[in-house]
Structure 1
Amino acid sequence: MITLTQISQRVVNVPDLSIDVGATAVIGPNGSGKTTLLEVCAGLTIPTQGTVLIDGTPPRKTEVAWVSSAPDRNILFSTVRDEVASPCRFAGLSCQETESAVEQVCDRLGITHLLDRLTRTLSGGEKGVVALATALVKRPTMLVLDEFDAYLDHQTLASITRLMQPASVRYLLFCTQNMALASVADQIIFLKDGQVQASGRPEDVFDQVETEGFCPLFPGMGGA
């Protein structure tokens, strides 16, 4: 379980929040603090106040992978094979272990045909899936996707949906404007003005948001 206690960071103020194993969608209007919450959970940002623990361990001592909202920010190397292999190489894995891990993750995401491509020749959607493969190649405990789906087509979005199956990754956290995608998650966190207004199963959160008259859920969602 991911636990957040007395968190204060920029607009975000979360006295207490628990995130179960599985896929969790973070939704909310522009400026509600979605990206900040993800950064705190991933350990990219140390909160001004409070603590985050992932199965009892701080985020920076946990294997966490992050994929940003802009495709080109995720790409460092000139070929897809080198890009996907880079986390394994940085970790000192053998050539055999690295090649095996690359083949497995690319096969799983259906991009083995891209392995010998130059990354600069990829479309935005292809870069997104390559970034996803790179994030997953070392089997992280937690995968965080920051508005990752904003530039992807339906076929590529299916790759994300498959990640929501059991045993794909222990924790998948993502913020999205796509309510259909959010509805597939195991849990939804709805933020407004940096505070958690609702948290739980998708159907329960959607019902609560509608019943209590919070800002419209579908139009104008996005941003940090």
Structure 2
Amino acid sequence: MITITDLSHGILRIPALSIEPGITTVFGPNGAGKTTLLSVTAGVILPEAGLILIDGSPPRSCEIGWVSEFPDRNILFERVFDEIAAPLRFRRLPMEMIEDRTMKIAERLSISRLLNRKMRTLSGGEKVLVALATALVTSPLLLVIDEADSHLDEETAWEMQDALRSNQPPYVLQSSQYQNIADVSDDHIRIHEGFVISRGMNQDG
């Protein structure tokens, strides 16, 4: 379980919040604090006050994957294979393991055909899927997706969700532009002006 206690950062004020394993979608108007919540939960930034634990450990001691709203801004390599393999190479894993894991995650996300393509030649939807593969290749405990569908049409956004569900880590925390994606998540959290104003769990999920 992810537990948040007495959290305060910028506009965000959350006295207590618990998030069960599964896919949780955070939604609300622009400026509500969605990205701040995702960032502190992922350990990208440290909260001004409060405590966040993921299965009893602070975020920065956990394996966490991150997919940003603008995948183009985080591209490090020219070729798709090298982009997906980058987190493994940074960990100095054996070459055979890197190739095996990269090939397997690409296959599971049905993007093997892209591995030898140049990143600059990909469509927006393809770049999001590559970013998702890059985040998942390390088998994270938590995957955070910060409105990666905000520049996608709804059909492509659902393709991303289908790919995510077929390769789902224990915890997924995402924000989305699409209400119907939130509706089919295991849990959803509505934020307004930094406060959690409602939440609801999908009893069928």
Task: Report the TM-score, using the length of structure 1 for normalisation.
Answer: 0.86
Render the CA deviation track for 1:101-137: whole Å, top value 9, x for unaligned: 1111101111100000111111111111111110101
Moved more, 46-55 or 156-165: 156-165
Render the CA deviation track for 1:54-85: whole Å, top value 9, x for unaligned: 00000000001111101212311010010000
Matched, 1:41 2:41: yes
1:25 aligns with 25
* Equivalent position SS for 1:129: helix
Matched, 1:147 2:147: yes
Task: Give the letter for the 2:165 counterpart.
Answer: M
* Equivalent position SS for 1:53: strand
Q: How many residues align?
A: 202
**Contact 1:67/1:146, CA 8 A, preserved across alignment:** yes
* Equivalent position SS for 1:148: coil
Task: Give the letter for the 2:66 counterpart.
Answer: W
**Contact 2:125/2:156, CA 8 A, preserved across alignment:** no
Whole-angstrom distance in 2 between the partners of 1:156 and 1:37: 22
Task: Give the letter for the 2:95 counterpart.
Answer: C
% identical equivalent positions:
47
1:66 aligns with 66
Alpha-carbon distance, 1:174 to partner: 0.4
* Equivalent position SS for 1:32: coil
Render the CA deviation track for 1:31-71: whole Å, top value 9, x for unaligned: 11000000010001111110100000000000011111012
Label 1:156 to 1:194 Cα distance change in 2 as closer, same or farther (>3 A). Answer: closer
**Contact 2:12/2:195, CA 8 A, preserved across alignment:** yes
Task: Give the letter for the 1:18 counterpart.
Answer: S
Label 1:27 to 1:202 Cα distance change in 2 as closer, same or farther (>3 A). Answer: farther
The runs of 5 or more residues in structure 1 that have no matched partner are: 204-224
* Equivalent position SS for 1:149: coil
Whole-angstrom distance in 1 between the partners of 2:165 and 2:2: 17
1:114 aligns with 114
Whole-angstrom distance in 1 between the partners of 2:92 and 2:121: 28
1:213 aligns with none
* Equivalent position SS for 2:196: strand
2:196 aligns with 196
Label 1:156 to 1:104 Cα distance change in 2 as closer, same or farther (>3 A). Answer: farther
1:88 aligns with 88
1:160 aligns with 161
Task: Report the TM-score, using the length of structure 2 for normalisation.
Answer: 0.94
**Contact 1:85/1:98, CA 8 A, preserved across alignment:** yes
1:131 aligns with 131
**Contact 1:25/1:185, CA 8 A, preserved across alignment:** yes
Alpha-carbon distance, 1:156 to partner: 5.3
